[in-house]
């Protein structure tokens, strides 16, 4: 027996809602707030442009919360603001290309997390450079090892985020086999 169109629509909406909820949970593990991740998930799984009011209604969030998270997502480059001719409302759409989303996210995480960590390690190394003794030597070796690793990670992130998927994916797959 074939499902009714309304039942299909309800099934689709429930699956989308489940995804939005789960994406919000995952987002907190990635260092962004749950609502920001949920707004992103809603926009990447919706085929049409959405207004702030529609996002607020769908996610049951305040205007201030919606506005802040939409601005953050725009600043990251994960969503775009779209103004329709003759309308005062602002609409939003998400970048839907998964590779581009991935590159945007790793560039932002690099800027917000990796680079400050590298700076902190450089400061620690500079402050303890002239210290003598085995404890200082062990500390400085560990700081250098961490710095070298983060520099390598920074270089990899830079190369990946500047590449095109068509070039990068076959290269990466060779290492996974």
Domain residues of the chain, as ranges?
5-94, 98-176
pLDDT band for 60, please (50, 70, 90 cuts).
Answer: very high
Is 73 or 108 the better-scoring residue by pLDDT? 73
pLDDT of amino acid 103: 84
pLDDT band at 125 (very low <50, low <70, confident <90, very high): very high
* Higher-scoring residue by pLDDT: 22, 6: 22
Residue 159 has what pLDDT?
81
The position carrying tokens 């689709």 is 12
Let me know: does 128 contact 140? Beta carbons within 8 Å.
Answer: yes
Q: Has residue 166 got a pLDDT over 80?
A: no
**Could you read off the pLDDT of 61-71 as tens digits, one per residue?**
999 999 999 99
- Tokens coding 63: 């205007």
169 — pLDDT class (breaks 50, 70, 90): low
Q: Which residues of 156-170 are buried (b: 16+ CB within 10 A; e: fewer)?
A: ebeebbeeeeeebee
Is 5-94 assigned to CATH 1.10.10.10? yes
- How many Å is the maximal CA-CA distance in the chain? 80
Q: Give yes or no for residue 4 having a pLDDT over 80.
A: no
Residue whose C-alpha is closest to residue 16's, from 54, 56, 58: 58
76-98 per-position pLDDT tens digit: 999 999 988 888 889 999 999 88
- pLDDT given for residue 107 in this prediction: 86
The average pLDDT across 125-146 equals 94
């Amino acid at each position: 027996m074939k499902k009714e169109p309304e039942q299909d629509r309800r099934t689709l909406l429930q699956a989308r809602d489940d995804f939005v909820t789960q994406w919000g949970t995952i987002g907190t593990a990635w260092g962004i707030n749950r609502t920001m991740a949920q707004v992103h998930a809603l926009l990447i799984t919706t085929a049409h442009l959405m207004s702030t009011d529609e996002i607020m209604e769908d996610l049951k969030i305040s205007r201030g919360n919606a506005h802040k998270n939409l601005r953050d997502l725009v600043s990251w480059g994960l969503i775009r603001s779209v103004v329709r001719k003759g309308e005062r409302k602002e609409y939003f759409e998400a970048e839907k290309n998964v590779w581009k989303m991935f590159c945007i996210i790793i560039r932002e995480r690099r800027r917000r997390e990796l680079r400050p960590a590298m700076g902190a390690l450089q400061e620690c190394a500079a402050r303890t450079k002239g210290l003598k003794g085995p404890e200082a030597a062990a500390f400085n070796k560990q700081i250098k090892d961490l710095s070298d690793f983060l520099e390598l990670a920074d270089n990899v992130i830079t190369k990946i985020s500047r590449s095109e998927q068509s070039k990068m994916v076959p290269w990466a797959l060779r290492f996974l086999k």
